[in-house]
Structure 1
Amino acid sequence: MTQTDDVVLLVRDVLGDADLVGVYPHGSAVLGGLRPHSDLDLFVVVRRRTTAGQRQALTDGLLALSGSGAPGEPLRPVELTVAVQGDIRPWTYPPRSEFQYGEWLREAYLRGRTPEPGPDPDLALLLTMVLRGRSALRGPSPDQVLDPVPPADVTRAMVAGIPDLLAELDTDTRNVLLTLARIWTTLATGDITSKDAAADWVIARVPAEHRPVLVRARAVYLGVEEERWDDLLPQVKPHAQYVVRQIERLSPHA
């Protein structure tokens, strides 16, 4: 069995086939293919709300099934999001998420913090990627389960997440730089691309002094360079600030 199979089996065991509508890939898996540092991104649609016990069981299971992202780790980091179909169809903004697991929260999970349901604007981008992928790991095709998300809500959600991204610039540099590149690319072109394709688009449009950090982020993401930032550290924040200014120029929500 693959890591994906193991995660789907956990979801079925915890949530039950009767309540499970479908399990859908998103992220890199549907935007050009998994890269060496890609997470395993899965979206789960259920018929009714989860219990605290179910959310704890998902967290406990995913702590064992998800890789930390450390060099040489055989398992990919898992990002798993659960939503109730009635909370996202018909579509309303902000949508509500039942549960989310991501490796950036591992320490909180180990301290006993179980994710609680609540508003989650990021679902706008996530659902758009699921629908674009047109792929189901379990259940009917996504277009039978989900409503399209208005582009304005995708833009609003992406821009709303920028402060949280910038707060992680020092600790998750590669991912933050690539995500900012994707936001700028999406706002400018209307298309959601892979992170390396977004980096290519941005590299061609920034002044020369802002290119090296994104070239490095792209190369690490593709697995052709080792992750290190000490030599480029003074350039990281100015690059991020430049990209954010371009996003603000394009977005009515900035």
Structure 2
Amino acid sequence: MLNPHPTRYAELNGVLHDLVTSAQSALGESFVGAYLQGSFALGAGDLHSDCDFLVVVRERPDAGQEAALRALHRDLPHREGHWHRHLEGSYAVARDLRSVEGLGREWLYVDHGADEMRWSEHCNQPWTRWILREHGVTIVGPCPVELMDAVPDHVLRESARAGLVTLADDVLRWCPPTIAWCQRYLVVQASRSMYTVRTGEVASKRDALRWAMMHGDPRWRPLLQQVLADRDLGLDPLAEPRPGSMEAAREFAAYVAAVA
């Protein structure tokens, strides 16, 4: 039986019910379970979040199954309602998920709000696995602990350190520095990486910003407070960063890379 209330939003729960029952129909006996990871698993999901899901499958989808899943996700974002446009997730092959040896393998993935799927390693990362195993919300299926081994602390920490080296360039390659949301995203990602390096765990965006205020250099508190306060503004492609804030975000990312 499906969990009828995986989130506190009734509309989103209905969207997830449609997603999971349609995936079960498309996958048949290959369907193992469906879960929430990301912000909703960490208890921080709100109307400004996307909803990160993971469907576990016994085998890589065959041509017919893949076609059915692509048709499903081509349709979902165009249905009425807020949450149909805010899903993101992958169809994880069970044997890849079992241990860290399967990290980085590509799964069938749909990006936030997209209506075309692609094969990607996006959801097959140490931090997404950690959230799923330690905090994942089961919609239907076995507990995530039964499907996967724990992610070792050193794997999480080293992954976070490695990403910090080129974080600013990586983010601003796809997220233009002329958009205020991109400034906030860079600061959030640097804060989350610092949290993971120091603790061996993964925090939500809000919790990472608050932690960085307490444990980072006090000179960064005004920047962190600005990003935390502006988060509810959401993504507006026409909204420019506050004067000097993008430069401050780059400097903060460099600081985090240095202390990590």
Deviation at residue 211 of structure 1 after TM alignment: 4.3
Q: What are the Cα deviations for residues 100-124 of structure 1, in whole angstroms up to 9, with x where unaligned?
A: 11127x38x3xxxx4126x558421
Contact (CA 8 Å) 2:160, 2:194: kept in 1 or not? no
1:164 partnered with 2:170: yes
Query: Normalising by structure 1, what TM-score?
Result: 0.78
Supply the RMSD in Å over aligned alpha carbons: 3.0
Q: What are the Cα deviations for residues 135-190 of structure 1, in whole angstroms up to 9, with x where unaligned?
A: 31111101111111112222343345535334234255133432221111111222
The aligned counterpart of 2:118 is: 115
- Secondary structure at 1:131 match in 2: helix
1:61 partnered with 2:72: yes
Q: What are the Cα deviations for residues 30-66 of structure 1, in whole angstroms up to 9, with x where unaligned?
A: 2123122111111121111113443343233224324
CA distance in structure 1 between the partners assigned to 2:78 and 2:161 by the alignment? 29
The aligned counterpart of 2:151 is: 149
Deviation at residue 203 of structure 1 after TM alignment: 3.2
- Provide runs of 4+ in structure 1 moved above 6 Å: none
Compared with structure 1, are the counterparts of its residues 154 and 60 closer, same or farther at alpha carbon in structure 2 (3 Å cutoff)? farther
The aligned counterpart of 2:138 is: 136
The aligned counterpart of 2:47 is: 36
Contact (CA 8 Å) 2:97, 2:103: kept in 1 or not? no
- Secondary structure at 1:50 match in 2: coil
Query: Normalising by structure 2, what TM-score?
Result: 0.76
Specify every segment of 5 or more residues in structure 2 that has no aligned partner in the other structure, as ranges.
1-12
- Secondary structure at 2:100 match in 1: coil
- Greater Cα offset, 95-104 or 194-203: 95-104
Letter in 1 for 2:48: H
1:199 partnered with 2:201: no
1:239 partnered with 2:241: no
Count of residue correspondences: 236
The aligned counterpart of 1:47 is: 58
Compared with structure 1, are the counterparts of its residues 185 and 2 closer, same or farther at alpha carbon in structure 2 (3 Å cutoff)? same
Q: What are the Cα deviations for residues 12-42 of structure 1, in whole angstroms up to 9, with x where unaligned?
A: 12222x1111111111112123122111111
